[in-house]
Amino acid sequence: MNIWNIAVKEIKSNFRDRRTFVFMLAMPIVLMLILGAALSNAFAPGHTMEELRLLYKSNGNDPQLTEYWHGFIEEIGKEGVKAVEVDSSLNGQEEVRNDRYTAYAEITSSGIKFYGSSRDTIESNILQGMLTVFADRYALASAAYQVEPAIAQEIVISAGQSSDFIRETSLDPTKRPGSTDYYAIAMTTMIALYSIISASNLFRGERTRNTAIRLMAAPVSKGTIFAGKVIGCTVINLICVLLVVLFSKYALHADWGDHYGMVVLVLLTEVLAAVSLGLGVSFLAKGESSGLIVMIFTQVASFVGGAYFPVDGADGVMGFLTHLSPIRWANTALMQIIYADNTTAAWSAIGLNVGVAALALIAAVISIRKREAF
């Protein structure tokens, strides 16, 4: 009963602290609106391209290659590629450099020399990929011609018959996060980690206000006070996180999927881990250094964890730091739950959060036992 009373008192105290409460709600919502609007194009599902224009020069000394090449450009022409043979008055490389053509290719029996545009890199890469396929198919056709001449032409022409240059396969190709959806998740997990700030002040504030002695004089055990404060701090921060979720869902129409229970469980364990870390740091660090440690940790974890921009594909030191961020764990789990219906992905994040919380709480409890007062 004493634990519950202390927890309720902690919740009421936080509600009275309007500046902190507004900070926990206003900051993620404002960032959600700003970043979601500013970076909306970065989350566009496709890339619109103009007509692909390929300038080429063919060596007419090989009739078989010439025949196969003309069959190939006829097929890719059906896919929107305009292939133009260069005449003697034009310099193919200069035409590409002046952005009149997407790419220039010299076709010889010994291979293909390809010159792509640095301005239209996506279009140029597509053409390069198509020509690579043609070269591979021609080599295969040449070998097949020695055995079965009838199928050689079919092998080469089939290189240009794909209706999709890039294929994407997913469980639900139409379900992907937009900028608002991404930042709804990223800002929610970020503010969940910010619970570490209020937790680091739980007992440090008592010492600053000189009320720690009164706590120790009360007929309540240290464990009861500690448990009540942890529960109260966790509940009030979880309420802030859930309010951000509700705002993003109903005001911004962000997609939170259908597995709400697992989403809340991931966020709850992240808040618990943050609160536990805050308490651990406040007891292990001396003086005001705990506040500095907490601020540096939250900013670094937010930056490398994907709070401000996606960090997929990072490697080296950046990749190592990315996987140490609790925000990264939560973001990855929530993306899997919401957009792949993969609820099992949540358990790795939940396990990591609970493990971090347990270690930090054990460290805090050991530190408390060594002290005469909080």
Q: What is the CATH number of the domain that holds 108?
A: 3.40.50
Q: Is-contact 326 193, C-beta < 8 A?
A: yes
Residue 341 lies in a domain: yes
Q: What is the pLDDT of residue 171?
A: 46
Residue 170 lies in a domain: no
CA separation for the pair 329, 345 (Å, rounded): 10
Residue 293 lies in a domain: yes
Residue 329 lies in a domain: yes
From first to last of its 374 residues, the chain has per-residue pLDDT tens of 678 888 887 888 777 777 777 778 888 989 888 888 777 666 655 555 667 888 888 876 677 777 778 878 888 887 778 888 887 777 888 888 888 888 888 888 777 888 887 777 778 888 888 888 777 777 766 666 666 666 555 555 554 444 444 454 444 555 677 888 999 999 999 999 999 988 888 777 666 666 655 666 566 777 788 888 889 999 999 999 999 999 999 999 999 999 999 999 999 999 999 999 999 888 888 767 888 899 999 999 998 888 888 877 667 777 788 888 999 999 999 999 998 888 898 999 999 999 999 999 999 888 877 765 55
Structural domain boundaries, residue 249: 2-43+177-370
Number of domains in the chain: 2
Q: Is-contact 267 48, C-beta < 8 A?
A: no
Q: What is the pLDDT of residue 42?
A: 60
∠ CA 80-84-85, nearest 5°, is 150
| 366 sits in which H/E element | helix 346-370
Same domain? For 220 and 125 the reply is no
Residue 172 lies in a domain: no
- Alpha helices for 118-259 (secondary structure H): 121-147, 152-157, 179-193, 195-200, 204-208, 212-217, 222-250
Q: What is the pLDDT of residue 161?
A: 47
Same domain? For 197 and 346 the reply is yes
Q: From 160, 195, 211, give the residue that closes a domain.
A: 160
